Chains A and B, each alone.
Chain A
Amino acid sequence: MKQETVLEVKDLQTYFYSSEGVAKAVDGVSFTLQKGETLGIVGESGCGKSMTSLSLLRLVPSPPGKIIYGEILLNNTDILKLSDEELRKIRGNKISMIFQEPMTSLNPVLSVGEQIAESIRLHQGLSRKEAWQKAVDMIRLVGIPAPEKRAKQEPYQLSGGMRQRIMIAMALACTPDVLIADEPTTALDVTIQAQIIDIIQNLQKQLGMSIIFITHDLGVVAEICDKIAVMYAGQVVEEGTTESLFEKPLHPYTNGLIQSLPKLYEDQEELSTIHGTVPSPYNYPIGCRYAERCPFTTDLCREKQPELLTVEPEKKVRCWMYSNEWQGETHMKEMTV
């Protein structure tokens, strides 16, 4: 199958300006997304994963936030150069987004059917009646029973899992090329999460869209993503196929993250941890941002920031250990996931 790049992000930088200084929330993030592919962006709170996703749709609250540099190429058009009107034509049409908490993203006083129909009317120019019919079809597609009845209901009458399905129906109503899912299952219970993931995957197969899945849950990305970018302190620290990332993580942070998860099929006396905390985005160290917490840190790590190195095709890592300049220990703890 010939690969076709749908979305390409180059050196994206989103900064926040406040009285405390400049917070580099997203600091030089690049990735590509192929047609039909699912990319996972993972990392812990404050790593910049959500700000990256908001930047893609230019939804960063401004002020205080600002995208100060970079390119976001959707089918070779730079989203950052579009006028507001051109942007509106793309949002919800070519690229759309679902959020963690559907209740805050839905209009509480409009029926859900109307909310879905609105975007269909605007983007596809269908009549009210046709758009309503399509909205009902979408609600059926995401597996909600009695769609005609549900379409007339307001968000408060639906359960959390159903609201998230409505969000998915709305996001997919115009068959976008790219769906950005920002922690779409985090607020849901596991059995409902399983339903939602199942629906997203089925629809992806039917509609052939590409997905960016943002989450802190490594289990979820392991199951649904083709490739994964791990973020730490505003940067991508490792990128690779899902299989390679979990079987042979290269970056000490990725390894630490995987190791600190309690195992479901093994007894452990103690969990391995990452000591220390994430550096403040207002004041990142000059060297590697993970140096303070890394068990392999050398003087080089503290003095100079590592580049994102391509170590194998489709495998990138931001760590001095994989460069020619490295003189420290090379033995990374054997993986036993």
Chain B
Amino acid sequence: MTTKQQPLLEVNNLKQHFFLKKEKLFGPQQVVKAVDGVSFEILPGETLSIVGESGCGKSTTGRSILRLDEPTAGEVLLFGKNLVNMNKKELRAARKDIQIIFQDPYASLNPRRTIRKMLMEAMSIQKIVPPEQQEARMIELMSLVGLRPEYLERYPHEFSGGQRQRIGIARALAVNPKIIICDESVSALDVSIQAQILNLLKQLQKDLDLTFLFISHDLSVVRHISDRIMVMYLGKVVEIADKHSLFSQPHHPYTKALFSSIPVIDKHHRKERIILKGDLPSPLNPPTGCSFHTRCPFATDKCKAEVPALREISATHKVACHFAENLV
């Protein structure tokens, strides 16, 4: 990936602000800036992961890209076309190329439809498979995700959690997408099943040339599946880098604390744990300057006053911290 490739997906200054109901008629408008100026690009065939803790805006970013929540501002360029200013019809056509798999396969499958109906619906909305080939395509999809073709006639409740997640994947694949957003897609699964699904995703990526935007809070899963990783905190990107560089040399104090908090089995790899003080600040009233300064062990007056820009410290590594160089 050294030559400059055309990105498949490019997100520029994406913002997702939620306006809350006013408490008083003439009171101030309260705004939650769930995603606040996020930019990144994904190259064809790569896996970019977004990590961060609850409320950091990682899932909202995924949803805004697909316009499941209408973004407040920003651009989402898929193959150079901006999804944000498309009309409904154009957007529907564009969604053929970009699909999403959710965390909870129980909640995202219609309990009253058989698997056959679900796959059929996806294919007929996008009109990509001629009717006479649909049957063969469904059987192909089932085998791709490792389910038996006779399961097509079954309902979601007849499957285990891991199998349901496979159905979610088959449904996303039904329209031949180029990029799939996986929003905590393996978080609800037991480790042995999680391993099966992760292997499946990697295999599919190879076989079908897929690109993934992988959203997760589980750092070892992210380490396994990604090429590059983006760390978010309170709606902003604090660090983005290729995974080896990020894991071997995290620069942002938040990334460091996050990595040091992961419980590890092998005691030879245990790092000195950095225990952060306090909780995540309220997104209704985010701190001034660097939003991490309230919990950062290295915060200075500059951090309280100035918002640090996301800047390049090497060709593959960007970080938003005033003192990134001094903290390594």
State which of B111-119, B122-130, B187-195 sits at the interface with chain A.
B187-195
Contact between chains at B198 and A189 (CB < 8 Å): no
Interface residues of B in 263-286 (CB under 8 A from A): 263-267, 269-270, 273, 275-276, 278-280
- Which of A194, A260, A264, A273 sits near B261, CB closer than 8 Å? A194
- Answer whether A190 and B217 are a contact pair too, CB < 8 Å, given A45-B190, A270-B202: yes
State which of A17-25, A63-71, A93-101, A216-224 sits at the interface with chain B.
A216-224
B: residues with CB less than 8 A from A are 53-54, 160, 162, 190-196, 198-199, 202, 217, 219-221, 223-225, 247, 257-258, 260-267, 269-270, 273, 275-276, 278-280
Contacts of A195 in B (CB 8 A): 275-276
Closest 3 A-B residue pairs measured CB to CB? Answer: A219-B263, A262-B224, A189-B53
- Answer whether A260 and B53 are a contact pair too, CB < 8 Å, given A162-B279, A190-B258: no
* Chain B interface helix/strand/loop/mixed: helix
B157 to chain A, nearest CB (A): 14
A: residues with CB less than 8 A from B are 44-45, 145, 159, 161-162, 189-195, 197-198, 216-220, 222-223, 246, 256-258, 260-265, 268-275, 277, 337
Q: Give Cα A253 to B270, complex, Å.
A: 25
Contact between chains at B191 and A44 (CB < 8 Å): yes
Residue of B nearest to A217 (CB): B263
Contact between chains at A191 and B192 (CB < 8 Å): no
Contact between chains at A265 and B195 (CB < 8 Å): no
Contact between chains at A257 and B192 (CB < 8 Å): yes
Contacts of A277 in B (CB 8 A): 160, 162, 193
Q: Give Cα A274 to B199, complex, Å.
A: 12
Residue of B nearest to A195 (CB): B275
Contacts of A216 in B (CB 8 A): 190-191
Contact between chains at B223 and A273 (CB < 8 Å): no
Contact between chains at A272 and B195 (CB < 8 Å): yes
Contact between chains at A263 and B224 (CB < 8 Å): yes
- Which of B217, B220, B267 sits near A261, CB closer than 8 Å? B220
Contacts of A271 in B (CB 8 A): 195, 198-199, 224
A337 to chain B, nearest CB (A): 5
Total number of residue pairs linking A and B with CB closer than 8 Å: 111
B167 to chain A, nearest CB (A): 15
Residue of B nearest to A190 (CB): B261
Other than the given A262-B221, A264-B223, 18 more pairs (CB < 8 A) read A189-B54, A189-B217, A190-B219, A190-B261, A191-B261, A216-B190, A219-B262, A220-B263, A246-B265, A260-B194, A263-B220, A264-B264, A264-B269, A270-B199, A271-B199, A273-B196, A274-B195, A275-B196
B60 to chain A, nearest CB (A): 16
Contacts of B193 in A (CB 8 A): 277
- Which of B220, B265, B275, B280 sits near A159, CB closer than 8 Å? B280
Contacts of A265 in B (CB 8 A): 247, 266, 269
Contacts of B220 in A (CB 8 A): 261-264
Q: Give Cα A219 to B262, complex, Å.
A: 8
Residue of B nearest to A158 (CB): B279
Q: Give Cα A161 to B266, complex, Å.
A: 26
Contact between chains at B202 and A261 (CB < 8 Å): no
Residue of B nearest to A161 (CB): B279
Contact between chains at B263 and A159 (CB < 8 Å): no
A77 to chain B, nearest CB (A): 35
Q: Give Cα A264 to B269, complex, Å.
A: 9
Contact between chains at B279 and A192 (CB < 8 Å): yes
Residue of A nearest to B257 (CB): A191
Q: Give Cα A272 to B278, complex, Å.
A: 38
B281 to chain A, nearest CB (A): 10
Q: Give Cα A190 to B221, complex, Å.
A: 14
Contact between chains at A262 and B223 (CB < 8 Å): yes
Contacts of A337 in B (CB 8 A): 265-266
Contacts of B217 in A (CB 8 A): 189-190
Residue of B nearest to A44 (CB): B190
Contacts of A268 in B (CB 8 A): 224
Contact between chains at A274 and B261 (CB < 8 Å): no
B227 to chain A, nearest CB (A): 11
Q: Give Cα A337 to B219, complex, Å.
A: 17
Residue of B nearest to A162 (CB): B279
Q: Give Cα A260 to B202, complex, Å.
A: 15
- Answer whether A260 and B195 are a contact pair too, CB < 8 Å, given A189-B53, A190-B219, A277-B162: yes
Residue of A nearest to B192 (CB): A274
Contact between chains at A191 and B53 (CB < 8 Å): yes
Contact between chains at B280 and A198 (CB < 8 Å): no
B39 to chain A, nearest CB (A): 24
Residue of A nearest to B221 (CB): A262
Contacts of B278 in A (CB 8 A): 145
Q: Give Cα A257 to B191, complex, Å.
A: 7
B270 to chain A, nearest CB (A): 8
Contacts of B162 in A (CB 8 A): 277
Contact between chains at B265 and A218 (CB < 8 Å): yes
Tell which of A189, A195, A222, A256 has the most Cβ of chain B within 10 Å: A189
Tell which of A273, A275, A337 has the most Cβ of chain B within 10 Å: A273
A287 to chain B, nearest CB (A): 20
Q: Give Cα A190 to B219, complex, Å.
A: 10
Q: Give Cα A260 to B196, complex, Å.
A: 9
Residue of B nearest to A194 (CB): B261
Tell which of A145, A161, A223 has the most Cβ of chain B within 10 Å: A223
Residue of B nearest to A243 (CB): B267
A199 to chain B, nearest CB (A): 10
Contacts of B196 in A (CB 8 A): 273, 275
Residue of A nearest to B198 (CB): A271
Residue of A nearest to B273 (CB): A194
Q: Give Cα A267 to B42, complex, Å.
A: 21
Residue of A nearest to B267 (CB): A222
Contacts of B267 in A (CB 8 A): 222
Tell which of B195, B217, B269 has the most Cβ of chain A within 10 Å: B195
Tell which of B221, B223, B224 has the most Cβ of chain A within 10 Å: B224
Contact between chains at A223 and B276 (CB < 8 Å): no
Contacts of A194 in B (CB 8 A): 260-261, 273, 275-276
Contact between chains at A222 and B53 (CB < 8 Å): no
